[in-house]
Amino acid sequence: LNPQSHPQARAREYTRAVTAAKLDRMFASPFLGELKGGHVDAVSSLAICRTNLCPVVTGAVDGTVRIWDLQNRRMVASLDGAHSRNVSGIVFGNGIDGQFYSCGEEGIIKAWGIYPKGQYITADVDDSDDEDKKPKAKRRNFKSSQDDDAESPHGPLNVYRLPSSRNNSYANAFHSIDHHWSESQFATASSDAAVHLWDPERSTPITTFNNLWGSDDTVTTVRYNPAERDLIAHCSSDRGIGLHDTRTASALQKTIMGMKSNCLEWNPMEPYMFVVGNEDYNAYTFDMRKLSRPTTIFKGHVGAVMSVGWSPTGTEFVTGSYDKTIRIFSTRKEGGTASHGGYGSNGTARDIYHTKRMQRIFCVGYTLDHKYILSGSDDTNIRMWKARSSEKIGQLSAREESSLQYRQALVQKYSHLPEVKRIHKARRVPKFIKKETEQAMVQKEKRRRKETNVI
């Protein structure tokens, strides 16, 4: 535009940026509701289907597993007594049959089906009318390895346990489970300081990796790499994070953190990167090609990070912490990658979610459409949040979409200016978190002064 015909254009644009930042905070309402009913005890594990938007499975400390319909936010089935102790891990298979696996601290793995009596729905075409061929719902069965007198219509379809745990199953408690991304295979982490690989057709592990780097500590987390078919990452109680190859049963790399890592997840879009949540209140992203130091440290929590979950886009992840808050961290901005965050990526959360009644958070995860976040906490509830707190739910008109993009561009353009930055980053947090954060800053400054005074 001609500056002579449009005087003060930059000033008007700055005023619009301030207004856009205020509107974004005014319409911020991230909490959508809870999945009706929740659990009776604390929610310890959560699994979101990799091939379907609706099914969600959760496990509780009392051993109960529940299946949820995410679209209607209601419970489909409650598998009471699925395990006799805490359900430490749940994972979906990679097939369309809706099969999932759960492991418990009593040393047992069980296979279940989302659809009752081993049935699932597929689309079939009705050939009765050639002019109007409509897909018709048809039930198909898959065989179960369990007898017909199963405890529930959903299973268990099969039961797995370690041979050494026949007499004392509590000695080899399972702490984590993950399914292969392309093959019919899953891995578990157990208290016997080993990672076990399982074939669904066999009741005992096909391969066992013990004596990992000479450590006898419990393996707490195990995850398959989405791209490298034979690469597994795990965390252990000796504060270690390790990689090993399942083809040669060899240890590849290992790094030792200052404190124990509670969770680990691979980036689904850039699978050479992974994030870990640590007991030191921070989350760390690593490049598997160089484990000597993290690529970025994400700070802000005042409690141990108990769970992490990547967005399907691979550009951000969510963390759930012992401090009763959920934080969303962006790993990169425009012009950046997961290993190099681009301009302005400083390791701070872009958003913080909390409620008055929500307690310690043990599991979090994104839905496949990148629009919602699920969290399970110590208060027995599974909550549903918007991934973008001020985003409108529903279809946007062309005018609304254009206006929204314009406001976002204005805020991004003027985010370096004090007033826009203050409004855009303002978040209300609970009082005890604010006090803990202030105390942590004082302690950090004291350590800095002490180090500078050393002669």
Task: Please check the confidence at residue 131 and state whether its pLDDT lies above 70.
Answer: no
Asked if 316 contacts 331 with a C-beta cutoff of 8 angstroms, the reply is yes
Alpha-carbon span 91 to 114, nearest angstrom? 12
DSSP codes, 206-227: SEEEESGGG--SPEEEEEE-SS
> Which of 62-71, 208-217, 394-403, 405-414 is the least confident region?
208-217
Ranked by mean pLDDT, the top range of 22-36, 164-178, 331-345 is 22-36
Query: What sign does the CA torsion over 393, 395, 400, 406 have?
Result: positive
Which whole number is the average pLDDT over 413-442? 91
Asked if 243 contacts 291 with a C-beta cutoff of 8 angstroms, the reply is yes
Look at residue 454 in the predicted model and tell me its pLDDT.
78
Say which residue, 9 or 293, is predicted with more confidence.
293
Task: Please check the confidence at residue 121 and state whether its pLDDT lies above 50.
Answer: no
Integer angstrom CA distances of residue 181 from 13, 223, 441: 48, 10, 42
Alpha-carbon span 276 to 233, nearest angstrom? 11
453 contact partners, CB below 8 Å, separation of at least 6 = none
DSSP codes, 232-260: EEEEETTSEEEEEETTTTEEEEEEE-SS-
Look at residue 137 in the predicted model and tell me its pLDDT.
34
Task: Please check the confidence at residue 62 and state whether its pLDDT lies above 90.
Answer: yes
Look at residue 379 in the predicted model and tell me its pLDDT.
93
Look at residue 2 in the predicted model and tell me its pLDDT.
73
Which whole number is the average pLDDT over 130-158? 50
Query: What pLDDT band is residue 455 in, cutting at 50, 70 and 90?
Result: low
Task: Please check the confidence at residue 153 and state whether its pLDDT lies above 60.
Answer: yes
Which whole number is the average pLDDT over 249-260? 87
For residue 272, which of 253, 250, 297, 299 has the smallest C-alpha distance?
253
Query: What pLDDT band is residue 138 in, cutting at 50, 70 and 90?
Result: very low
For residue 188, which of 170, 200, 205, 202 has the smallest C-alpha distance?
205
For residue 57, which of 123, 17, 102, 96 has the smallest C-alpha distance?
102
Look at residue 318 in the predicted model and tell me its pLDDT.
96
Q: What are 250's two structure tokens?
A: 């060899």
Which whole number is the average pLDDT over 256-269? 93
For residue 100, which of 47, 52, 54 has the smallest C-alpha distance?
47
pTM of the model: 0.85
Say which residue, 131 or 269, is predicted with more confidence.
269
Say which residue, 51 or 231, is predicted with more confidence.
231
Look at residue 168 in the predicted model and tell me its pLDDT.
54
Task: Please check the confidence at residue 301 and state whether its pLDDT lies above 90.
Answer: yes
Sequence letter at residue 189: A
Alpha-carbon span 278 to 265, nearest angstrom? 12
Ranked by mean pLDDT, the top range of 7-16, 214-223, 292-301 is 292-301
Backbone dihedral region for residue 76 (phi beyond 0: left; psi -120 to 50: alpha; all else: beta): alpha
Say which residue, 251 or 418, is predicted with more confidence.
418
> Which of 69-83, 198-212, 272-286, 427-441 is the least confident region?
198-212
Query: What pLDDT band is residue 6 in, cutting at 50, 70 and 90?
Result: confident
> Which of 126-130, 167-171, 214-218, 322-326 is the least confident region?
126-130
Alpha-carbon span 254 to 239, nearest angstrom? 10
Give the pLDDT confidence of 358-409 residue by residue, as tens digits: 999 999 999 999 999 999 999 999 999 999 999 988 888 999 999 999 999 9
Give the pLDDT confidence of 19-54 residue by residue, as tens digits: 999 999 999 999 999 998 889 999 999 999 988 888
